[in-house]
Chain A
Amino acid sequence: MVSIDLHPYTLVVSSFIVLALRNFISFIGKNSVQEFVWSLFVKFGSRFGVSKSFIAYSAKKEELHKVNKEKKAISAQDQYAKWTKLNRQSDKLSAELKSLEEVIAQNKNSVNRLVGLLITVLTTVPLWFFRIWFRKSVLFYLPTGVFPFYVERVFALPFFPSGAVGLTVWIFAVNSVVSSVLFLVSFLFETKPPFPELKQKVEEVKEEKTSSKPELIEAKTN
């Protein structure tokens, strides 16, 4: 049987870090992380020869642009042969671009999958491991006499002696603190959502109504 012996404080700190990371990722969104990694891949991948298809793609795209520009510059009827040759070239390039796009989409898919897997490995797996492996280890003891006994009992959930704090309560506490902090920070930078402008619509309707009912109003005033 393998036994992993961690100092309780190592456990406290590492679970805190993992939880903070997890909260942070869920705050900014898994998709944006994936997009960010993808943009890094696009930017730096070519340096290591990973994303050759991008270089080809952008080169082809530029070429297509050039060909199309040239094609537009000449009259199809006056220089039919030249125009048709350009047309053939542009058709060929478009087809190549399409196939490259497919390759790139596949690349992106695999990068996204990898990032998703990495996020899971970094944030979910360690927590489960801690929860199972250290389910019986006490992280730290509360100083006696600070809290009343019923609070201590709650902190000792699910089955620790009074005054001890286990992983369950610690995770719960860290989660709530981190999410509160994130909320507080984001609250400062939050912009007000634009108020939906109903005014105009109402006015439009009013106009229509008034224009359709002038006789009625006149009749009433009379």
Chain B
Amino acid sequence: MEFELEPTLESIITQDTLKWIFVGGKGGVGKTTTSSSIAVQLALTHPNDQFLLISTDPAHNLSDAFCQKFGKDARKVEGLSNLSCMEIDPEAAMSDLQQQAQQYNNDPNDPLKSMMSDMTGSIPGIDEALSFMEVLKHIKNQKVDENDDNKDQISYKTIIFDTAPTGHTLRFLQLPSTLQKLLGKFQALSGKFGPMLNMLGGGVNQQDMFEKLNEVQKNVTEVNEQFTNPDLTTFVCVCISEFLSLYETERMIQELMSYQMDVNSIVVNQLLFADDDEKPCKRCVSRWKMQKKYLDQMNELYEDYHLVKMPLLGTEIRGVDNLKRFSQFLLKPYDPKVDGAIVTEIEEK
């Protein structure tokens, strides 16, 4: 191979145009650590810009990763003034939305009353889309609030998403055309039957409904345009060097590519690097052999990806300082001979 991509995330960290970075993978492969590390590195590399790290995982671990409590609203990380974190439960945002819809419409005889919940129940991807819209709206509100408080414009340069392992958070990207078609139908229907429903006593309420749907459609189109633009959005896959994890990663990459999303980096976590251990433990050596086997396969398979290899450390990586130390290997490949000390040096918190 004459042409090989450097095994780091440098291109992502230094790329100036990126607005969204998604970090995804199956549970337990180190998504949160990786997304936190990326966020920390971004914040360190661009000290003059603001960054936001969001976890949409209902089992929030950002608080644990940074040893600091985060909530629904963005809060700055102590010790890293240009990085904020927030934890959102998309399900909760969704139920908020439904409650809102019910508030709109409390006439028990209105035929359109259950439309919202029916719709969210019947179309695959639309509930994800709606909940994602809610998350985005929440982020936008966040900015507005800060504007009011600080009187100077703070907009986040890049927003890093720590996605939930179970939810196909981005599944709605699959259905932009379907959604648009459907919403177009709804619009046509509202044009045709709106007056009739008005006569039947539906009132003005469904006008609000349709306006809301139109708004959703507009947002979906906008978001899709942004997310399929490789200059604005990228996806970082996280995996460990084991068969099932690789298999799931492959499937995820295929899925993301079907959404026309840009994927060019894979972070392989929890590698043992047991070659040069002074007192080699048998288990580590044999497990490292297995990991190397899969790493070789990955090198062959993902030639045109940045394959970042991260070591498995002695303890959990928690706290800003530890994250800073760990995350440098996203930019400079980990060398077990030189950097081996970090494995045991990370202090527990």
Contact = CB atoms under 8 A, between A and B. Distances in A.
Contacts of B294: 80
A84 B300 CA distance: 11
Interface string B257-282: 00000000000000000000000000
A28 interface: no
A87 B301 contact: no
A27 B246 CA distance: 60
Chain B interface, >50% SS class: helix
Interface in A76-108: 76-77, 79-81, 84-85, 87-88, 91
Interface residues of A, number: 10
B193 interface: no
B104 interface: no
A87 B250 contact: yes
Nearest to A76: B243
B250 A84 contact: yes
A46 B296 CA distance: 46
A79 B250 contact: no
A80 B301 contact: yes
- The A interface is mostly helix, strand or loop, or mixed, namely helix
Contact of A88 (B254, B298, B300): B254
Contacts of B298: 80-81
B95 interface: no
A77 B300 contact: no
A29 B296 CA distance: 62
Contacts of B300: 81
Contacts of A80: 243, 246, 294, 297-298, 301
Nearest to A80: B297
Nearest to A77: B243
B120 to A, nearest CB: 28
Contacts of B301: 80-81, 84-85
Nearest to B250: A84
Cβ-closest 5 pairs across A and B = A80-B297, A81-B300, A81-B297, A81-B301, A77-B243
Interface of A: 76-77, 79-81, 84-85, 87-88, 91
Interface of B: 243, 246-247, 250, 254, 294, 296-298, 300-301
8 contacts: A80-B243, A80-B301, A81-B297, A81-B301, A84-B246, A84-B297, A87-B250, A91-B254
